[in-house]
Amino acid sequence: MERTSLMDFVEEILAGKVFAISKMISLVERRDPKAFNAMKQLYGKCGRAHIIGVTGPPGAGKSCLVAALVRQFRKKGLSVGVLAVDPSSPFTGGAVLGDRARMEEFSSDPEVFIRSLATRGSVGGLSEAVNGAVDIFDAAGKDIILIETVGVGQNEIDIVNLAHTVVLALVPGYGDWLQAMKAGIMEVGDILVVNKADQPGAGSLLNELCLMPGKTMARDILDNADVRMETWRVPVGLTTAIKGEGTADLASIISMHFQFLKIGNGLSEKNRERRINQFLDLLSKRMREEFVRHYQTDPALRGWIEKIKNLKLDPYQASEQVIDFIVEAREGKIRNKRPTNKKENNQ
């Protein structure tokens, strides 16, 4: 893509053009070098959206909950981007089939953009794709970005590192609660939701959760709608997303959490952390690619690869040796040339 057409393309994304957004996410997904250049342009327009993660075990009704939240945010006139990330879905079936049904309801609304990220074949590329897609939605002017993902720390994309607000959806009657709590899973949500509240056991689960340290009834937060608190007490509420019950309150609490983060230092802190993580992700992936690209022609790198291939050197020692080599090389470089000059040249 030439510079002019790249700029046109970026302009279309910034203007919220559906085709351009969609194309750009696809480029990011397959790690096209064009995406890399466009992302640099889009980056400056990011930072306005509220990034919300909806997570929980399979069967917690996350998709229904997300659809209900889309309806609620649309009622408030906010534009919404949805990213469905479900690596556990067999055959990317969740991504391919499930969405289609969900898409239909919102297909006539230009202010709602729903996109699935398939992870097949892109080992290690998921967090980069999700981060990229979030930035694209943000730059394209979406007010709300909802990311639906299964599990917590169970897959590559750690929603906690990415979202401003994490909604953990649970359902009554879900197996061994003690196990779940021991596993520390209850610590990830900024908001806990007992979904499918019309099923038996919802009330007792709600009570059980509220008794946990740092948790409170959602009602308490809604009644004293003051977000200038020092620490966020995690509200626990009931929803029956499929009937739309409790979802208006949930949307309100989500927005309150965003206000809370804005008033305190939380929002900028989270944004900083996300950018550092995103950078370290990109760096480690690019290092790998760089190594693969160069080892064919570079005798130093090729030597390592040959020894590993011939099983004469184990990957553990090899990785140590390469790191030592790079670190020593870098230190040599620093002695030869001031790093501050280097940095300034590169800007």
- Subset of residues 173 to 192 that bind a second copy, contact rule: CB under 8 A: 174-176, 179-180, 183-185
Query: Among 22, 154, 252, 259, which residue interacts with a second copy (rule: CB under 8 A)?
Result: 154
Rule CB under 8 A: say whether 309 interacts with a second copy: yes
Q: Per CB under 8 A, which of residues 315..334 are in contact with a second copy?
A: 315-330, 332-334
Closest alpha carbon to 25 in 125, 93, 98, 124: 125
CB of 252 to a second copy, least distance (A): 28
CB of 321 to a second copy, least distance (A): 5
Site string for a second copy, 21-60 (x = CB under 8 A): ---------------x--xx--xx--x--------xxx--
Phi, psi angles (nearest 5°) of residue 200: -60, 145
CB of 106 to a second copy, least distance (A): 22
Closest alpha carbon to 214 in 186, 177, 245: 186
Rule CB under 8 A: say whether 267 interacts with a second copy: no
C-alpha to C-alpha distance for 235 and 224, rounded to whole angstroms: 12
Q: Which two tokens stand for residue 243?
A: 């009937």
CB of 240 to a second copy, least distance (A): 20
Q: Which two tokens stand for residue 74?
A: 């649309």
Do 116 and 96 contact (CB within 8 A), yes or no? yes
Query: Among 91, 101, 233, 263, which residue interacts with a second copy (rule: CB under 8 A)?
Result: 91
Closest alpha carbon to 278 in 177, 132, 84, 155: 132
Nearest 5°: CA angle at 116, between 141 and 54? Answer: 75
Q: What residue type is 241 in one-letter code?
A: A
Rule CB under 8 A: say whether 19 interacts with a second copy: no
Query: Among 111, 158, 190, 249, which residue interacts with a second copy (rule: CB under 8 A)?
Result: 158
Do 258 and 164 contact (CB within 8 A), yes or no? yes
C-alpha to C-alpha distance for 346 and 264, rounded to whole angstroms: 34
Query: Among 151, 244, 264, 266, which residue interacts with a second copy (rule: CB under 8 A)?
Result: 151
Rule CB under 8 A: say whether 90 interacts with a second copy: yes
Rule CB under 8 A: say whether 152 interacts with a second copy: yes
Do 142 and 110 contact (CB within 8 A), yes or no? no
The piece of 70-78, 195-203, 237-245, 312-320 that touches a second copy (CB under 8 A) is: 312-320
C-alpha to C-alpha distance for 255 and 247, rounded to whole angstroms: 12
Rule CB under 8 A: say whether 336 interacts with a second copy: yes
Site string for a second copy, 204-243 (x = CB under 8 A): ----------------------------------------
Radius of gyration of the chain, Cα coordinates, nearest whole angstrom: 23
Q: Which two tokens stand for residue 176?
A: 């061994």
Query: Among 121, 200, 223, 228, which residue interacts with a second copy (rule: CB under 8 A)?
Result: 121
Query: Among 7, 18, 124, 263, which residue interacts with a second copy (rule: CB under 8 A)?
Result: 124
Rule CB under 8 A: say whether 153 interacts with a second copy: yes
